[in-house]
Amino acid sequence: MTSDEIPSVEYVEGSGIPVRGNDIDTDQIIPARFMKVVTFDGLGEFAFFDQRFDHDDNQKEHPFNDDKYQDANVLVVNANFGCGSSREHAPQALVRWGIDAIIGESFAEIFAGNCLALGVPTVTADSETIEALQEWIEANPDGTIEVDVADETVTYGGKTIDVTVNEAQRKALVDGIWDTTALMKSNTEAIEKTAASLPYVGSEVNKEAADD
């Protein structure tokens, strides 16, 4: 992918799915035993696995198992969502399950960064706002939620509320520069200059690299 092929993510629309609780960690989002893989393909079915299934693989009560939310793409969570590991497997599992945007009270930093790298906005609002939205989704599982990343608003049930999007995230999503590889690679000269200025990188190491 080159930078001009990266889609802009200004706006996400769809139905919601609430997952309640603070401090939902990455081990809950995708248990470590499902990470014994060399690609992210197929991780969607393991999202929240241990919350969804008992020892005999019978379904437990969980929004991700609930028929009414199977087409949802806007996840609504509470505080400190995604804390714990840096595993990108967590947002990858959610995205592959069908999630395109997450609204919450707050997110762990690496998790939010990983979401951005996948073009998934993580927008925040206070706990009352989130609570109200979660209740509305439960009453209106087919209702449409519009996440406007550019304008920092969420619209549902005929009302529009203000939400917060981290400024760098907003710009990256709206301008279509959230996939940073090509963008950063274009600064080769400046990278080399910075490397050369660092005493520990030094010329000796550069020479070694050249010899390889």
Partner 1 sequence: MSEGTLYDKVWENHRVTTLPNGQDQLFVGLHLIHEVTSPQAFGMLRERDIEVARPDLTHATVDHIVPTDARDRPFANDAAEEMMAELEENVHAAGIDFDDPTTGNQGIVHVIGPEQGLTQPGMTIVCGDSHTATHGAFGALAFGIGTSQIRDVLATQTIAMDKKKVRKIEVTGELGECVTAKDVILTIIRRLGTDGGVGYVYEYAGEAIENLDMEGRMSICNMSIEGGARAGYVNPDETTYEWLAETDEFEDDLERFEELKAYWESIASDADAEYDDVVTIDGSEIEPVVTWGTTPGQGIGISEPIPEPDSLPADKQETARRAQKHMRVEPGDTMDGYNIDVAFLGSCTNARLPDLRAAAEIVEGRQVDESVRAMVVPGSQRVKAAAEREGLDDVFIEAGFDWRDAGCSMCLGMNDDQLVGDEASASSSNRNFVGRQGSKDGRTVLMSPVMVAAAAIEGEVTDVRELPKAEVKA
In whole angstroms, give the CA distance from residue 170 to residue 45. 29
Residue selected from 134, 147, 172, 203 as contacting partner 1 according to rule CB under 8 A: 172
DSSP letter at 178?
-
The answer to the question of residue 67 lying near partner 1 (CB under 8 A) is no
Shortest Å distance, C-beta 200 to partner 1: 6
C-beta closer to partner 1: residue 21 or 157: 21
DSSP letter at 134?
H
The two three-digit tokens of residue 115, written as one number = 């979401």
> 154 with 145: CB under 8 angstroms?
yes
In whole angstroms, give the CA distance from residue 163 to residue 30. 27
**Cα–Cα–Cα angle for 36, 38, 42, nearest 5°?**
80
Residue selected from 23, 45, 135, 142 as contacting partner 1 according to rule CB under 8 A: 23
Residue selected from 8, 10, 13, 40 as contacting partner 1 according to rule CB under 8 A: 40
Dihedral of the CA atoms 140, 74, 18, 107 (nearest 10)?
A: -150
Count residues near partner 1 (CB under 8 A).
67
Q: Is 6 exposed, middle or buried, given 0-12, 13-18 or 19+ CB atoms closer than 10 A? A: buried
Residues 95-154 that bind partner 1 (CB under 8 A): 106, 108-110, 113-114, 117-118, 127
Q: Is 34 exposed, middle or buried, given 0-12, 13-18 or 19+ CB atoms closer than 10 A? A: middle
The answer to the question of residue 45 lying near partner 1 (CB under 8 A) is no
The answer to the question of residue 76 lying near partner 1 (CB under 8 A) is no
Shortest Å distance, C-beta 93 to partner 1: 13
Q: Is 104 helix (H, G, I), strand (E, B) or coil?
A: strand
C-beta closer to partner 1: residue 15 or 114: 114
The answer to the question of residue 177 lying near partner 1 (CB under 8 A) is yes
Contacting positions for partner 1 (CB under 8 A): 1, 21-23, 25, 27-28, 31-33, 35-40, 50, 79-80, 83-88, 91-92, 106, 108-110, 113-114, 117-118, 127, 166-169, 171-172, 175, 177-181, 183-185, 187, 190-191, 193-195, 197-201, 205-206, 208-209, 212
